[in-house]
Each structure stands twice: as structure tokens, then as C-alpha cells.
Chain A
Amino acid sequence: MNDTLPIGTTTVADVPVWRVEREGSPLAVVDILVAGAGHAAAPDRNPAVPLLAAALIDAGTERRDRAAVRRALLDATAEVGAETQDTWFHLHVSAPASSIGTAVDLAAEALREFAPAKEDFGREKAALVESRHRAMAEAGGRADALYRATAGSGTPAGIPVPPPPETVAAVRYGDVVGFVRPLLRRLRLHVVTVHPPGCGARIDDALARMLAVAPHGRRHRPAPMPPFREIVAAWHDGHDPQCAMAFGGPGIPATDDGRAAWSMVLDVLGGHHLESRLTRALRVERGLTYGVALVAKGWRARMDWRGGAVLRAGTAKLAMDTVRGVIERLPDDLGPADVVAARTRLTAAWEEATVSNTALATLLCRSVRLGDAPQSVATLPRRLCEVDLDRMREQAARLAAMPVSFVFAGDVGEPFARRGDRGDAGTGATAASGATERES
């Protein structure tokens, strides 16, 4: 199997750097990850602060206004962007090898001297409020919000992620500036870079300039995971043409020995392909939905899994029973062909993710967030090969024994509609009806 990805490790200004230097693409990619600063880590308990910070990251510094920042990026053929993922804030820099040093310098300025115009802040906030209104107007958005609020999966207790519009509207300009400027010195950092040969020293020099400005390394305390709550809830809206289903369960720790087998079980159950058990049961055989897929959330302590589907109106109960049945039968239902199929699919996905420098950097960043060893990305195909049917059945039995939560929104149909029909889109999680609840 392919263990040939040359993942090197070093440090720059005491910050760990994972590096892949390889021929092929002329694009150099540098990702700076900041622990404890993502939207689910919610500084000031407002997840909209890092979301707005990410959206405004190239919107102005003390030296340059928005247009000047973007002209400087054009001159360097560079892109600088940011996103928040769970407990991490993620700064992404890319440019051709010849100008990657300049691009990293610009990214450093964007963080240290972060000063967007107040008008830009106001516009970005209004746009985020609008997008949250839009999300909540859709059954899928309501199901997602209600799932997070009730099951608690992937969200530290008490913090509403994604934030409702009023939470976004409450953010002040100073909150965002006060959040971004100390990012490079306040929290734990990690760098991932994938680049063509010949520009490593340029990147390291720029990183040294970026990171040497102030002490860092304050001990990072991972956000406490909330207990997973087993729940069935519905938010009925008879005007909606469909019913959205959000479902999921608690996962295993990233350090668990069975992680490779666990990921193969999730792939067989609900991977993003037409062969998954759930796709066969809900789409191919019954035509209830256009698509159903699962994802494992990247939490180190507990990699919860989440699924979603938008279903034919009135079929919530049928879909829930179908999903439960598939999960319950899975340990006995798995066969040798499933082992080979899952291994092949996940290996193909891994190969796809290593094709471009951008995608490879993304893969490495995920491993950083999960606390993996650097070589774990390179050895994934080999670890998949070590999984046999018994190990998969073991993990499938583990999954089947765990709680599964379901939340529905839209035209849910009986019995949920009968038990709590509101007849409109409702206003919040209090509209949940027909709920059963158990903490685990």
C-alpha cells in the first residue's frame, strides 16, 4: 500500500509544522490552524464572532483598506481566506511558489493589524443575518438547528451553533477585532504546508516573521463535550413540500483502536455513494429521498456521526424506522464484500484527496485537528487493509448499541404532526413535539 507521502515535521518559532514538498502543482499552500478559536469554541459564547472574523479576514488592516489588501493579494497572485471549524480557526494562504512568502506576510498583517472598515463589518454582519434567516426558512436548516439544540452533538453545551440571526446581530465591531488580533499569540498554533520544491525556506522565513512577534503556546483546553442526548423530536410545518431529517449518534474517540473499522462501517451504512445501506433503503428501493449521507464530525474526544436527508412529505416515521432497522441489522448483515468495498472506496477517496496541494493540505489539517500523528495520513490505506470482517462487525455492534437521535422539520406526517401540529414554521426549539429524551 502507498505509504509514500513524504510528510515531514519541523518547528518554526516553536510552532509545529507539517510539510509535504512534491513536484506537480506549482501552487504552494500554507494553512495556519489556531486551536480553541473556532465557532463551537465560541469566544464570549457567541459563535458569530469567529464566523464574522473569518468572513472579514481580507477586509482591511491598519495599513490598507479592503481594496488595497485585495490589490496586494493580486500583485502576489495570492489568496488568503479563513474559516472556523468546531474548535479551530483556520487561516488559508495560497500562491505560486515565487510569491508564497509575500502571501504569508500579507496573511500575518491581516491577523495582527486586523482593522476592517466599520461599514464592511456592518455589511458582512447583515449578510450573515440574511443567510441565517435563509437557512432557518428551509426545513433542513430548522432540522439541523433543532438537532444541535436538542441532541447537543458537536456543540459545547449552551452555545448555539450555527447561531440564530439575533445572535449574529448582537455582535459588535470590537468583539471581532478583539478576537482576531491576538490569535497568533493567545492560543495553540499548528501549520500545514504543501508546496513545490524550492520554496520551503521562503515559507519558513515568512512563518518565522509571522510567529515570532509574541509568545504563544498557552495551554489549550479543549472545549468540553456535551453529553449526547438521545431524542426524537419534530417541528411540523404542513406548508412545506417535504420533511427534513437530521439524525446521528455519538462516536468513538479519535484515539480509538477501532477507528479505521469504524470509518468503514459508517461508509457502508451511509457513505456518500449509491451503494450505502441507507441510500439503497431510502432512495433506490423506496424513492423517498434524493439523497442521504453520513459524516463523522471531527471531534477529538468523540467523533460523533451525523446524517441528513430531505424526505417525501409525511414519511418521517417510515424513514426513522427504516434507518433504525438498517443500523440494528448491520452487525449481522455485513459480509466480506462489504469489507473490500469500504476499503476500496475510502482508499479512492484518500487518493482523490491527495491529488492537489490544496486538497492534501485540507486532509492534513483534519488530522491535526484530530490529534493524529503526522504519518497517519500517509498510512491510512495500510490501516484500512488491516481491517477484517470481524473488526467491522465489532464496530457495527458498537454502533448499534449506541443511541441514535432523530429530528424532523417540515411536513413530518403522522404520528408527529398529530402530536404537535403548529401549522406554521414556528419560532424555535420549543416547537419540538412528540419528543422522547434520554441522556447518554
Chain B
Amino acid sequence: MEWSPMERMLPPMRETRLGNGVRVVTVHCASRRARHMVAVGAGAVDDPPGLDGLAHYVEHLMFRGSPGLEDGAYDRLVRELGGRFNAFTTEDQTVYYADLPLSALPRIVEIETARLRGLAAPDAEALVERDVVMEERHQRIDGDPEAVLHERMQLALFAGHPRGHLTIGSPETIARFDGGKARAFHAEHYVPGNVAVVVSGAVDHEEVVELASRTYGTLPAGGREGPRPVPAARPPERITLRGRAKGEERTVTVCFPTPPADPCVEVLAVVLGDDTFGPLWRDLVERRRVAVSVHAAAAIPARGSGELWITLVPATGVDGEDALAALDEALARIANGGLDRETVDLVRRRMLVDLSHSLDDHRNVATPLARYVALGGTAEGYRGCIADMYTAPHARIVDLAARVLRQPRVAGILEGGEVGA
């Protein structure tokens, strides 16, 4: 295998901080199209009490008018530049991105600067957009019993903590949104010190910084420097929740809080979810045949606490309770030193293959980088995290598994038929 060292696999990255606090990060690669991202260190953990989902609502309203940009103008202007755009909100950050020709960079930075100056959607339109968010909530959550169950698990996992609700909010909190609340959130969080701009493509760092200085650099300094601190979550109570499926679909899921910024959490998730070499696959799927599939995912980096979720589909004839008991046993063994070096090394090799293939498209580098720097991290820190994932000693992964998996877990069983409380 012809591997370059990990650090050299990633394209060059550079970073500059403007006078008002906006950070500018460039990723240099050969693409003649650029990805331009505005990453804001504000997400669902910043939702005010009683307004769960407000950060996500603000993301919607960013497309319905800003000072100097009437409703629909952003869509039209980016399209005229030959660009395409979208955005996403997570628990920890909100990221806006546009893919466009390199020649459009001078204009897109002007447009995005205008959007950072404020929200300008008329109140009536803001209420229509609230309806859109409500339909999004119904589509993503309320029509899917597994999503409803996972929402309850999230509440139990982070009871009393800012992570203890879904990014989209609840029907009750969404109903309270309006333009005024969104504008207040924007004014508090969309400030230069809490914004990072990431640009990837065949770009020159100095030229991008020059453009950014003339645009983002004119935003008035002040307000917060970096994302609002979020406390670590307390370990949850061990609990098993049950949800009733609409049909015959069945799943068993457990979740744990994790350290917020340890890149080895990602390694642990990939190891636990690996469908060939992973210990859960070999034990529960191949050996004991209590499940037909296993998946795991981590939310890293995060603010306050990260999350690890593991889901399996029970095999035909295996009760959800029995599948959960088998999963608990398997995780307890892993927590007590049952994670061998060969397994971790094999899975990390798979991660390397995935990384090398993802470099086919520069956007696969830019997007996770934007999420990272939105939380106050640096480009150099991101590079270090990637290297850490692949080079961290085996003992560190084992220690992390013990610390995470020995905590009380929150479990959810989704099954058809009658379900107890």
C-alpha cells in the first residue's frame, strides 16, 4: 500500500484572523470551482429556554431576506453567479455553503457579509417560514416512530442540559417562533468573533484574505468571542424507553455521552459500527445471530458533551429485550478491555481508505473543517485531530471505550404491537 503520511494526505490549509475577529481559512486544491462556507458557532445548544429549535429557524430565515437583500434575492444572486447553496444546523454550529466558480468569490463574500448584518424577513413571511419548519419537523420526526423514540432518548440522555432537545425543536416551541425572536438570536450570535469563513478550491490564501478584509472585515467588532461555553453533561440515568412501530420495523438503540472533543470518539464509533471487523458485528451478528445489522455514529466535535449512538436490527425471532440484553453484555465486555489491537488497526485502515477516497472531492475536506473551526478550533488543530484518529495509541482507544461505555446508557426499543410505558 502506498500511503503518504496522514498529514500530507490532506490538502494545504491556512488561516488568518481579521481585525474584527472573523477567521478566514482556506483549503488549497486543484478544483476550478470553490466551496465558500460561513460557519457560525451557534446551534441548538444556544436555543433560549422555551424556544428549542430557534437556531435552526434562524437558518431558514437567512434565506428570506437580509439588509439590502429582499426575500428571494439570495437565491437569485447566487444562481446568477453560477452557484448552488444550502445550509445546515446542528446542536453546536450552523453552516452556510455555496459552491460556485472561482471568479464568483468577490461577489459571494459581499452577499454573505450582508446576511451577517441581520435578518430582514417581514414578520408575515417569518410566520410562513415557521409553518415550513413545522412541516419539516412533522416530516423528519413526527411521522417516524423511530425518530420520535430517539427524541425521547435525547431528552433522557441530556436531561436538564442544553443538548437535551432536538435541533429542530418541538411543535410547542416552534409555535412560539417569530421574526423578532429570530432577529434577537441573530444579533447575539452572528457576530464577527463567532464566525469563521472557509473557502476551498484553487484559491490563493492572500487573495481570499484581501477579499474578506474588504467585506467581512467591515462588520462591527463586538459581541462574543467564540461560541458560548456549554457545561459538560452529567451521566444519565440508566433507562430503557420503548416505542411502538407503525408496521413491522424493529430496532434497538443505545446512546452515551462522550468527551466533547476527543477525535478518538470517532474511531470508537467506527470500530463499534464496522460491519466486517467490528466486535459488535462479530459477536452479535456473526456468532450469536441476535442481530442482522449494527450501526454506530458519534457527534464530534461538540460543545459540553459529545454523543455516541449504536443501533442494531434484531434478527428474525429475537425479541427486542433479548437483543438489548445481548448488546449490553457485548458493550460491557468491550468496556472491560475487550477491544483488541488487531480490530482497531483493521478498522483504522478502513478509515484511511475512506479518507483517501473522500479526497476525490475537496468539499469533503471543507465541510468537516468548517464544523470544526466554527467551534473555535484552528486549521492546524483540525489537521492534528485527523492525524490523531489514525495514530492514537491503542491503549488510548481502550481507555476511552472504558470511560464511555461504563457510564449508564439510555436505550430505546422500537417494536410493533403493544408496548408498555
A residues whose Cβ falls under 8 Å from a Cβ of B: 23-27, 66-67, 70-71, 73-79, 94, 96, 98-99, 119, 123-124, 126-127, 130, 133-134, 136-139, 165, 240-242, 273-275, 283-290, 310-313, 341, 344-345, 347-349, 351-352, 355-359, 410, 425
A70 partner residues in chain B, CB cutoff 8 A: 276-277, 350
Report A-chain residues with C-beta under 8 Å of the C-beta of B134: 287
Q: Is the pair A290, B139 in contact by a Cβ cutoff of 8 Å?
A: yes
Chain B residue contacts of A345, Cβ below 8 A: 79, 84
Whether the Cβ atoms of A27 and B139 lie closer than 8 Å is no
Q: Does B132 belong to the interface (CB within 8 Å)?
A: yes
A24: B residues at CB distance < 8 A: 30-31
Contact, CB under 8 Å: A274 / B100: no
Contact at A27–B359, with CB atoms within 8 Å? yes
Interface-facing stretch out of B36-44, B243-251, B329-337 = B243-251
A41 vs chain B, min Cβ distance (A): 27
Chain A residue nearest to B250 in the complex (CB): A130
Q: How many angstroms between the C-alpha atoms of A345 and B353 in the bound complex?
A: 33
C-alpha gap A38/B121 in the complex (Å)? 47
Contact of A242 among B128, B135, B246, B292 (CB under 8 A): B135
Measured between C-beta atoms, what is the minimum distance from B60 to chain A in Å? 10
Contacts of B75 in A (CB 8 A): 273-275
18 contacts between A and B (CB under 8 A): A25-B359, A67-B277, A75-B1, A126-B292, A130-B250, A133-B247, A242-B143, A273-B75, A285-B128, A286-B131, A287-B129, A312-B135, A341-B76, A348-B82, A355-B33, A355-B361, A356-B361, A410-B143
Q: Is B285 an interface residue (CB 8 A)?
A: yes
In the complex, residue of chain B having the shortest beta-carbon distance to the beta carbon of A28: B360
Instruction: Tell whether, in the assembled complex, residue A242 and residue B276 are in contact, meaning their CB atoms are under 8 Å apart.
Output: no
Q: In the docked arrangement, what's the CA distance between A425 and B248, Å?
A: 12
A71 to B316, CA, bound (A): 29
Closest to B29 in A: A24
Contacts A96-B2, A241-B138 aside, 20 further interface pairs with beta carbons under 8 A come to A26-B359, A27-B359, A74-B346, A79-B353, A79-B357, A99-B2, A123-B315, A126-B313, A127-B313, A240-B143, A241-B142, A242-B142, A274-B72, A284-B71, A290-B135, A312-B131, A347-B82, A355-B363, A359-B361, A410-B143
Which of A126, A137, A344, A356 lies in contact with B315, CB distance below 8 A?
A: A126
Q: Are A77's CB and B353's CB within 8 A?
A: yes
Q: Which residue of A lies closest to B289 (CB)?
A: A119
Question: Chain B: which residue is nearest A169 at the CB level?
Answer: B316
1/0 contact trace for B39-79 toward A, CB 8 Å? Answer: 00000000000000000000000010000000110011001
B99 within 8 Å of A (CB atoms): yes
Given A74-B350, A289-B132, A290-B135, A351–B249 Cβ distance below 8 Å? no
- Chain B neighbourhood of A130, CB < 8 A: 249-250, 292, 313
Contact between B139 and A242 (Cβ–Cβ < 8 Å)? yes
Contact A348 B138 (CB under 8 A): no
Closest 4 CB pairs of A and B: A287-B131, A356-B361, A290-B136, A137-B246
Partner of B79 from the list A25, A312, A341, A359 (CB cut-off 8 Å) is A341
Complex alpha-carbon distance, A124 and B100, angstroms: 40
Residue B83 at the chain A interface, CB threshold 8 Å = yes
In the complex, what's the smallest C-beta–C-beta distance from B284 to chain A, in angstroms? 11
Q: Is the CB of A74 within 8 A of B353?
A: yes
Q: Which residue of A lies closest to B63 (CB)?
A: A274
A425–B101 alpha-carbon span in the complex (Å): 48
CB-CB nearest in chain B for A284: B128
A144 to chain B, nearest CB (A): 14
How many contacts A-B (CB < 8 Å)?
Answer: 165
Complex: A119 Cα to B281 Cα, angstroms: 13
Of all chain A residues, the one with the shortest Cβ separation from B277 is A67
B80 CB, nearest partner CB in chain A, Å: 6
Q: Which residues of A contact B250 (CB under 8 A)?
A: 130
Is the CB–CB distance between A138 and B132 below 8 Å? no
Given A98-B2, A241-B138, A356-B360: A351 in contact with B101 (beta carbons within 8 A) = yes
Q: Is the CB of B285 within 8 A of A123?
A: yes
B93 contacts the other chain (Cβ, under 8 Å)?
A: no
A394 and B405 CA atoms in complex are apart in Å by 64
Contacts of A289 in B (CB 8 A): 132, 135
Report Cα–Cα, A73/B277, bound state, in Å.
13
Give the one of B82, B83, B249 with max A CB within 10 A: B249
**Cβ–Cβ contact B247 & A136, under 8 A:** yes
Residue on B with the closest CB to A358? B360
Complex CA distance for A351 and B84, rounded to whole angstroms: 11
B253 CB–A CB distance under 8 Å: no
Most buried by A among B75, B129, B144: B75
Does B247 lie within 8 Å of A310, measured CB to CB?
no
Q: Bound state CA distance, A2 and B250, in angstroms?
A: 51
Flag B118-147 by CB within 8 Å of A: 1 or 0 each.
000000000011111111101100111110
Given the interface contacts A66-B276, A78-B353, does A127 sit within 8 Å of B360 by beta carbon?
Answer: no
Question: Within the complex, what minimum Cβ distance (angstroms) separates B202 from chain A?
Answer: 10
Residue of A whose beta carbon sits closest to that of B71 = A284
Return chain B residues, CB-CB under 8 Å to A67: 276-277
Check A352/B135 contact, CB under 8 A, given A24-B30, A25-B359, A137-B247: no
> In the complex the two chains form, what is the Cα distance from A240 to B247 in whole Å?
13
Name B132's contact: one of A71, A77, A283 (CB within 8 Å).
Answer: A283
- B104: min CB distance to chain A, Å: 10
Instruction: Write out the residue numbers on chain B whose beta carbons fall within 8 Å of the beta carbon of A242.
Output: 135, 138-139, 142-143
CA distance A352 to B360 in the complex (A): 13
Contact A23 B30 (CB under 8 A): yes
Residue of B nearest to A410 (CB): B143
Residues on A with beta carbons closer than 8 Å to the beta carbon of B135: 242, 287-290, 310-312
